[in-house]
């Protein structure tokens, strides 16, 4: 809800269910930020306004009429250089006379309701009863500029988004060097900036950076939102954890270069700005042209990081993801990449699909290698015709065989790219982002198509239309495997080269919009060498994204934990792959690989043809389990209860920093009648029998049954200890040991408890004894390095009860 109190100048009150955001217009016409935080009752700015009776020494008065008014230490909604504010500005530009000063003053406001679904540029959307809109019009009369600042208030999700549009009403051209989406000034205080940086196969490393004097910046400069620095940023005030404390969440609805900066001024005030990265950006506005920024999402929670994430999750599921896949269950897929990389052919794929069908997979996805002469990554991007040697019946032939097996069919594409070794490049060498006549630095042997050109956009739309119309394709994995270098478009003049990246995204979003509208039933999954473009811009068109090329469950657990701060499980694509893992060579149990992947959109990426019967049986049971709880796994309330980083404990003085690191997640159905809880440890703690879990988000008054997803173990896992039970001596790992393994499995522990929700959450559930080298029976928890468990909680009122025996996993 938005309220306006007309004092001498207006006071704007933007309320969501649990938060309030207030600013007012000063006598000078500057929007002064008053408050953002937990919901408050206010009918005036009394007591919320800072007092600046006299201008601070050595600062500049904004004008002669207001000698005590200086911008350097004000809390503002917008700031620019030239009138005394020397902190990070929201706007930097060069006026037509060469000056840099921008002096925007309040002009008027407009209120409206509802926000349309985005078309050629991503953004949030909502019906009239879901979103209130405030537009503040600011004018710089000296330079004939107008800045429209938009606030979109989503009360239910406790989210406010901001963006602005700058229009040049002057006769001359204006050059924009920076136009951020939002700026917020916090009161003096103790703040921590939480960022997510990383690299390929290790995306989303969370850093907690105390905000001190000076600036802390995260930004991407790869031409993508990037694995180097996700646009998701949080700021906490004072002490905050998952359940307590003040936490602000911010995210940009954009896939290009972004910039987030926290600055503590010499007065101790903290300013946060976010938007398009000004580095490499320069935009010319001719007379009556305008420039629109992407939207920045803001949320606040005074119940810690957990509630902040829940706000973000609700917002993304309801006001970002759209189309037929909005709030719809996602299929379980098998992807061919790690099963055979480029070495694919029809019979191999059909054999793989046949087994996939038997274990319960619903969608078969052919990854890279199916087109042109693509046998490795040196050629064929751009030649989107099936390789007839590999697929004699073309896409159609393979598709009909897969469909006959009872599976849906999907394919991998990378439409934004071209290899020099391709028909497309030979026909259109000018269609790439490159500086003519100068050497080009390539990534993965490929070049980026110049999507600023409408001809290139049309080519991609036509190509995708042809492919998607050629047979019954239900799913597209849309990849993008390199970052930008030598940024230049031959379609733009020399003085507009600073516009290339942003124009590229305008082109890409147009393409994505047209294709997703043309093929609304197709499930699109974004991908960019894993998580190099995991952002709300992509999610505005594609409902899910491949989170990382790393499928090692231990690494993934950390990566998925980090994504969960801002992105709901329904958007995070996760696969069970082989062990040893192809990215880390780490060996892990299939159970752990499943347990981690199940807390997102589950898929498989394994060579099923090489698997033993028992392994396939294990996968089958996993898939059955996931199908049963899929609604909760994909759309339930997700809780981070413990992360590896937080679990470092000095209570066990004998353990090293790695031993004992563990993680705990929980996901709870909307009606709270079902919950699934997962624990995972990195390294075993010796002589440690006791353990307790704390599932969260339950109804305190409901009685729940809690059972583990039961496991059984290979006797090979016990090595020579097998002799403590065997009547004859068995050589560890020898022939007899392996022979016995075919017939004997060691039963895992059975957890079975009936408890009230409040007891489970507060007292915790004390688990069966962990293995501690003093005995083993079916009451002992076999909990080794990289072990994990899923516990299923069902309310006694839940008539959807199920027998856990159905889900016995062969590990």
**Catalytic annotation, residues:** 479, 549
Question: From the list 95, 181, 195, 481, which residue makes contact with ligand DGJ (rule: CB under 6 A)?
Answer: 481
* H or E segment to which residue 677 belongs: strand 674-681
Given strand 674-681, what is the order of strands in its sheet? 637-642, 662-668, 674-681, 788-795, 703-708, 752-756
Question: From the list 18, 242, 367, 450, which residue makes contact with ligand DGJ (rule: CB under 6 A)?
Answer: 367
Nearest CB to ligand DGJ, comparing residues 237 and 479: 479
CB 367 to ligand DGJ: min, Å: 5
Q: How many angstroms separate the CA atoms of 431 and 491, rounded?
A: 9
412 in contact with ligand DGJ (CB under 6 A): yes
CB 548 to ligand DGJ: min, Å: 8
Q: How many angstroms separate the CA atoms of 163 and 294, rounded?
A: 6
Question: From the list 363, 433, 527, 702, which residue makes contact with ligand DGJ (rule: CB under 6 A)?
Answer: 527
Nearest CB to ligand DGJ, comparing residues 42 and 480: 480
Window 723 to 752, contacts with ligand DGJ (CB under 6 A):
none
Spatial CA neighbour of 252 closest among 161, 186, 191: 161
Question: Which is it for the CA torsion 548, 478, 312, 5, positive or negative?
Answer: positive
Question: From the list 530, 553, 660, 757, which residue makes contact with ligand DGJ (rule: CB under 6 A)?
Answer: 530
CA dihedral 681, 638, 581, 656 (to 10 degrees): -20
CB 363 to ligand DGJ: min, Å: 15
Matching residue, tokens 């990037």: 226
Stretch of 84-92, 172-180, 525-533, 708-716 lying at the interface with ligand DGJ (CB under 6 A): 525-533
Q: How many angstroms separate the CA atoms of 544 and 537, rounded?
A: 12
CB 416 to ligand DGJ: min, Å: 13
CB 539 to ligand DGJ: min, Å: 17
Judged on CB neighbours under 10 Å (0-12, 13-18, 19+), 731 is: exposed
Nearest CB to ligand DGJ, comparing residues 530 and 636: 530
Task: Please list the alpha-helical segments (H only) found in 260-324.
Answer: 304-319
Nearest CB to ligand DGJ, comparing residues 527 and 596: 527
Q: How many angstroms separate the CA atoms of 362 and 239, rounded?
A: 45
Q: How many angstroms separate the CA atoms of 84 and 91, rounded?
A: 14
Q: How many angstroms separate the CA atoms of 278 and 570, rounded?
A: 32
CB 412 to ligand DGJ: min, Å: 5
Stretch of 463-471, 523-531, 736-744, 749-757 lying at the interface with ligand DGJ (CB under 6 A): 523-531
Residue 78 is classified by DSSP as: -
Nearest CB to ligand DGJ, comparing residues 262 and 417: 417
Q: How many angstroms separate the CA atoms of 569 and 424, rounded?
A: 38
CB 409 to ligand DGJ: min, Å: 16
| Angle (CA) 323 329 330, round 5° | 85
CB 372 to ligand DGJ: min, Å: 13
Nearest CB to ligand DGJ, comparing residues 159 and 332: 332
- Backbone conformation region of residue 633, classed left if phi is above 0, alpha if psi is from -120 to 50, else beta: alpha
Spatial CA neighbour of 534 closest among 217, 253, 163: 253
Nearest CB to ligand DGJ, comparing residues 89 and 369: 369
Q: How many CB atoms lie within 10 A of CB 517?
A: 12
Judged on CB neighbours under 10 Å (0-12, 13-18, 19+), 43 is: exposed
- Residues in binding contact with ligand DGJ, number by CB under 6 A: 11
Q: How many angstroms separate the CA atoms of 737 and 717, rounded?
A: 11
Supply 656's token pair. 């090293």
Question: From the list 85, 549, 664, 749, which residue makes contact with ligand DGJ (rule: CB under 6 A)?
Answer: 549
Q: How many CB atoms lie within 10 A of CB 773?
A: 8
- Cα-atom radius of gyration of the chain, to the nearest Å? 28
Question: From the list 250, 281, 337, 783, which residue makes contact with ligand DGJ (rule: CB under 6 A)?
Answer: 337
Question: From the list 479, 552, 699, 710, which residue makes contact with ligand DGJ (rule: CB under 6 A)?
Answer: 479
Supply 702's token pair. 């409901």
CB 361 to ligand DGJ: min, Å: 17
Q: How many angstroms separate the CA atoms of 367 and 413, rounded?
A: 8
Q: How many angstroms separate the CA atoms of 213 and 580, rounded?
A: 46
Question: From the list 32, 88, 368, 552, which residue makes contact with ligand DGJ (rule: CB under 6 A)?
Answer: 368
Residues 6 or more apart whose Cβ sits within 8 Å of residue 254: 122, 225, 231, 276, 294, 505, 535, 536, 537
End-to-end CA distance of the chain: 52
69 in contact with ligand DGJ (CB under 6 A): no
CB 438 to ligand DGJ: min, Å: 28
CB 529 to ligand DGJ: min, Å: 5
Q: Is the peptide bond preceding residue 482 cis, with omega within 30 degrees of 0?
A: no
Nearest CB to ligand DGJ, comparing residues 295 and 368: 368
416 in contact with ligand DGJ (CB under 6 A): no
Stretch of 7-15, 219-227, 527-535, 779-787 lying at the interface with ligand DGJ (CB under 6 A): 527-535
Answer whether 542's CB lies under 8 Å from 478's CB: yes
Spatial CA neighbour of 641 closest among 444, 791, 803: 791
Nearest CB to ligand DGJ, comparing residues 376 and 462: 376
**One character per residue 292-331, x = contact with ligand DGJ (rule: CB under 6 A):** ----------------------------------------
546 in contact with ligand DGJ (CB under 6 A): yes
Answer whether 663's CB lies under 8 Å from 643's CB: yes
550 in contact with ligand DGJ (CB under 6 A): no
Nearest CB to ligand DGJ, comparing residues 161 and 532: 532
Question: Which is it for the CA torsion 69, 72, 75, 76, positive or negative?
Answer: positive
Question: From the list 164, 332, 529, 559, which residue makes contact with ligand DGJ (rule: CB under 6 A)?
Answer: 529
132 in contact with ligand DGJ (CB under 6 A): no
Question: Which is it for the CA torsion 301, 303, 305, 310, positive or negative?
Answer: negative
Residue nearest to ligand DGJ (CB): 368
Stretch of 86-94, 423-431, 526-534, 630-638 lying at the interface with ligand DGJ (CB under 6 A): 526-534
Judged on CB neighbours under 10 Å (0-12, 13-18, 19+), 385 is: middle
486: helix, strand or coil: coil
Nearest CB to ligand DGJ, comparing residues 118 and 530: 530
Say if strands 473-478 and 408-413 run parallel, antiparallel, or are unpaired: parallel
Matching residue, tokens 């994504």: 563
CB 636 to ligand DGJ: min, Å: 26
CB 417 to ligand DGJ: min, Å: 10
Q: Report the interface residues with ligand DGJ, using CB under 6 A.
A: 337, 367-368, 412, 479, 481, 527, 529-530, 546, 549
């Amino acid at each position: 809800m938005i309220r306006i109190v007309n004092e001498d100048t207006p006071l704007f009150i933007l309320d969501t269910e649990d938060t309030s955001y207030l600013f007012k217009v000063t006598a000078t016409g500057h929007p002064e930020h008053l408050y953002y935080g937990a919901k408050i009752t206010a009918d005036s700015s009394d007591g919320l306004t800072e007092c600046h009776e006299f201008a601070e020494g050595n600062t500049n008065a904004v004008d002669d009429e207001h000698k005590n008014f200086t911008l350097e230490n004000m809390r503002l909604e917008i700031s620019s250089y030239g009138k005394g504010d020397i902190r990070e500005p929201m706007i930097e530009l060069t006026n037509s006379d060469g000056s840099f000063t921008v002096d925007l003053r309040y002009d008027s406001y407009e209120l409206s309701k509802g926000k349309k679904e985005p078309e050629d540029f991503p953004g949030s959307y909502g019906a009239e009863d879901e979103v209130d809109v405030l537009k503040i019009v600011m004018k710089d009369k000296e330079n004939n500029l107008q800045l429209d600042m938009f606030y979109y208030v989503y009360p239910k999700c406790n989210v406010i988004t901001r963006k602005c549009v700058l229009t040049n009403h002057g006769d001359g051209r204006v050059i924009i060097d920076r136009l951020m989406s939002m700026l917020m000034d916090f009161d003096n205080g103790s703040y921590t900036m939480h960022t997510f940086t990383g690299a390929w196969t290790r995306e989303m490393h969370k850093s907690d950076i105390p905000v001190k004097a000076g600036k802390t910046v995260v930004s991407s400069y790869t031409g993508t939102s990037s694995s180097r620095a996700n646009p998701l940023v949080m700021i906490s005030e004072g002490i905050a954890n998952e359940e307590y404390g003040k936490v602000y969440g911010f995210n940009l609805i954009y896939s290009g270069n972004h910039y987030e900066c926290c600055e503590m001024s010499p007065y101790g005030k903290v300013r946060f700005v976010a938007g398009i990265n000004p580095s490499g950006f320069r935009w010319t506005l001719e007379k009556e042209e305008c420039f629109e920024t992407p939207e920045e999402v803001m949320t606040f929670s005074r119940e810690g990081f957990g509630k902040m994430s829940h706000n973000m999750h609700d917002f993304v599921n309801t006001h970002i993801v759209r189309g037929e896949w909005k709030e719809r269950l996602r299929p379980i897929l098998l992807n061919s990449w790690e099963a055979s990389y480029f070495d694919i052919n029809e019979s191999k794929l059909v054999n793989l699909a046949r087994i996939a069908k038997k274990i319960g997979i619903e969608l078969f996805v052919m990854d890279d290698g199916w087109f042109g002469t693509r046998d490795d990554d040196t050629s064929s991007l751009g030649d989107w015709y099936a390789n007839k040697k590999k697929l004699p019946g073309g896409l159609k032939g393979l598709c009909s065989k897969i469909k006959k097996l009872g599976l849906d069919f999907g394919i991998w594409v990378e439409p934004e790219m071209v290899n020099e070794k391709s028909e497309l490049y030979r026909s259109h060498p000018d269609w790439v982002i490159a500086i003519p006549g100068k050497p080009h630095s390539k990534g993965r042997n490929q070049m980026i198509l110049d999507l600023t050109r409408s001809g290139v956009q049309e080519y991609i739309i036509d190509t995708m239309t042809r492919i998607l119309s050629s047979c019954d394709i239900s799913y597209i994995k849309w990849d993008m495997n390199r970052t930008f270098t030598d940024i230049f478009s031959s379609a733009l003049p020399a003085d507009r080269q600073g516009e290339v990246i942003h124009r590229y995204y305008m082109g890409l979003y147009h393409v994505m919009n047209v294709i997703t509208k043309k093929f609304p039933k197709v499930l699109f999954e974004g991908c960019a060498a894993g998580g190099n473009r995991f952002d709300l811009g992509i999610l505005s068109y594609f409902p899910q994204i491949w989170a990382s090329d790393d499928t090692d469950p231990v690494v993934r657990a950390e990566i998925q934990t980090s994504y969960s701060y801002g992105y709901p499980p329904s958007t995070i694509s996760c696969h069970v792959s082989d062990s040893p893992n192809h990215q880390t060579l780490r060996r892990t149990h299939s159970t752990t690989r499943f347990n981690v992947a199940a807390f997102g959109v589950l898929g498989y990426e394994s060579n099923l043809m090489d698997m033993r019967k028992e392994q396939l049986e294990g996968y089958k049971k996993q898939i059955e389990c996931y199908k049963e709880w899929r609604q909760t796994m994909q759309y339930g309330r997700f809780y981070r209860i413990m992360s590896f980083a937080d679990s470092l404990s000095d209570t066990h003085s004998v353990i090293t920093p790695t031993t004992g690191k563990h993680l705990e997640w929980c996901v709870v159905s909307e009606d709270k009648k079902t919950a699934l809880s997962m624990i995972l440890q990195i390294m075993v703690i010796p002589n440690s029998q006791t353990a307790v879990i704390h599932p969260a988000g339950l109804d305190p008054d409901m009685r729940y049954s809690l059972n583990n997803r039961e496991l059984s173990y290979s006797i090979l896992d016990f090595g020579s200890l097998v002799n403590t039970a065997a009547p004859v001596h068995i050589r560890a790992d020898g022939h007899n040991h392996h022979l016995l393994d075919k017939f004997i499995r060691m039963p895992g522990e059975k957890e079975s408890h009936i408890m009230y929700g409040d007891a489970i959450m507060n007292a915790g559930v004390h688990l069966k004894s962990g293995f501690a080298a003093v005995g083993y029976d079916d009451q002992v928890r076999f909990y080794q390095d990289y072990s994990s468990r899923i516990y299923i909680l069902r309310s006694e009122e839940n008539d959807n009860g199920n027998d856990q025996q159905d889900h016995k996993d062969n590990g």
